[in-house]
Amino acid sequence: MRRRTLLKGTLLGAAFAAVPAVGGAASGAFAAERVVPVASLAELQLAIDRALPGDRIVLADGTYTLPSDGISFAGKRGTSSAPITVVAASRGGAVLQGSRGFVFDDSSDITISGFALRQSTSMVIPVGSTRIRLTRNDLRFADLTGLDWVIVQGDDVKIDRNHFHHKTTEGIFLRVDGPGTTGMAQRLHVLRNHFSDHSFAGDNGGEPIRLGVSSRALTPAHALVEYNLFERCDGDPETVSVKSSDNTVRYNTVRDSLGGIVLRHGNRTTVAGNHIVGGHDGIRVYGNDHLIVNNYVAGLTGKALVIGSGTTRDHHGGETTEERRGNDACDRAVVAHNTLWGNTRTLLGETKDYEPRDVVVADNLLVGDAGTLVAMGATSGFRWSGNILWGAAANGNLPAAGFVRTDPRLQRGADGVYRLTPGSPAIGAATLASPAVTEDLDGHTRGTSRDVGADQYATTAPLRSPLTTADVGPNAS
């Protein structure tokens, strides 16, 4: 059993001296758990300096002006089972304004929770600081051109249940880098955040999330971006910009936004089970060996899904900087079980020098009344099978053997998603044997008889639907 001691902020020095460290704290076993109330930034810094694994430091509600050097964690280490937690007395009740906020240096297992963060410089989680968690915070940094708000360079960071909102100038809400010029932070988890109202009017540099940059494209990051809501994110054509390898972007909702999910650089990323609705662009794919499955892309005024051509065939270690910045043609991707409904432009290619190769396009449902459903540029070795096309839009330039034109009998649900109804010809008509797609957009099991499109017909309620503000942000469960 952990020892629990309540310390008063006005008696910090004596109280800390009176409570000894507990043996085994370094490994997380039997760590002291102490609630430490503080009522000023000076008391907060002192409590952090003296913190032990398991401490929960609670800052009283109020508005605080940060010192120029911020609030520092230097060599502070909690444990995985007993992190050092700094929390506002009530969510959003402690407002931190000024130049620098929390500063991390060679620290680990630190949790920052419940603050309204209003600083005017980036919050950096540097290389060497690991297992840092930002949770249930409200972030609205100073609206300065070029200011990226949170920069992650350390490993095993978790960013969950925060609200990033209201930026009108160039700058990224959440930027992920790593050591040197080619490294990537490992195993970042971005969960149930609300990203909203980025209105920068330029054509580059206002992404809500950027995972890497061109020089880091070939480095595996193993980031997981899931269950996040993006609304009115118009600062860049890329809402989630992936510029590294081996990531997963799943179960997110992008609504009424300029940008979509873009695999701009890198290889082997999975994009699964996302809802992209009512905005401009959907999914755009470059690089090799990606898996694009179970996505619902609907009502867009731009391009729903682009299988990209390239200015180069494959990125490699010997490239020039200019070559690396260019597009790598999409090779060996699997694009399957997606529903593209009611978009101005549906499935498209491009006309760059290197055509995409050996891509599987199978068991997708394409429905539209405008233009052409499939408008690919040059391709090589594509495999088309089991797709269903419907609506007043023309079929386009996919091979006749790769689709059937038939009414899929869709019905709009209460959540706005069009799903299959009984008797739909999409039921049981899927053709793709590998890779296995074991569940659908809604979280239902597909079984051995799989349906075309993102939805597997079911009579039970969806386990996943488009996210709303109640599902994300500081008050999410």
Q: Helix, strand, coil proportions of the chain in percent (round to 5)?
A: 10, 40, 55
Say which residues have a Cβ less than 8 Å from residue 357's Cβ, sequence separation at least 6. Answer: 329, 330, 331, 332, 379, 380, 381, 382
Side chain identity at residue 22, one-letter code: V
Look at residues 116, 132, 151 and tell me which one is the last residue of a structural domain.
116
Does 129 lie in the same domain as 7?
no
The pLDDT value recorded for residue 63 is 98
The pLDDT value recorded for residue 10 is 40
Domain assignment present for 101: no
Does 171 lie in the same domain as 78?
no
Domain assignment present for 367: yes
Does 170 lie in the same domain as 63?
no
Q: Which residues of the chain have pLDDT under 70?
A: 1-32
Domain assignment present for 161: yes
Q: Three-class SS of residue 243? A: strand
Does 376 lie in the same domain as 337?
yes
The pLDDT value recorded for residue 282 is 98
Q: Three-class SS of residue 198? A: strand
CA distance 275 to 339: 10
Each residue's pLDDT tens digit, 361-378: 999 999 999 999 999 999
Each residue's pLDDT tens digit, 205-237: 999 999 999 999 999 999 999 999 999 999 999
Burial of 21 (0-12, 13-18, 19+ CB in 10 A): exposed
Are 377 and 309 within 8 A, CB to CB? yes
CA distance 412 to 136: 33
Burial of 262 (0-12, 13-18, 19+ CB in 10 A): buried
The pLDDT value recorded for residue 321 is 84
Strands 418-420 and 410-412: antiparallel
Number of domains in the chain: 2
Does 266 lie in the same domain as 404?
yes
The pLDDT value recorded for residue 26 is 39
The neighbouring-strand residues paired with 226 are: 191, 250
CA distance 301 to 189: 31
Does 156 lie in the same domain as 86?
no
Q: What secondary structure does DSSP assign to 260-296, as a single string?
A: EEEEEE-S--EEES-EEESSS--EEE-SBS-EEES-E
The pLDDT value recorded for residue 264 is 97
Domain assignment present for 261: yes
Are 376 and 345 within 8 A, CB to CB? no
Domain assignment present for 287: yes
CATH number (domain holding residue 148): 2.160.20.10
Could you tell me the residue range of the domain that residue 153 belongs to?
122-471
Domain assignment present for 100: no
Does 148 lie in the same domain as 36?
no
Are 466 and 416 within 8 A, CB to CB? yes
Does 289 lie in the same domain as 191?
yes
Does 204 lie in the same domain as 318?
yes
Domain assignment present for 476: no
Look at residues 82, 116, 150 and tell me which one is the last residue of a structural domain.
116
Does 85 lie in the same domain as 149?
no
Does 440 lie in the same domain as 348?
yes
CA distance 27 to 383: 53
Does 133 lie in the same domain as 88?
no
Residues in the chain: 477
The pLDDT value recorded for residue 22 is 32
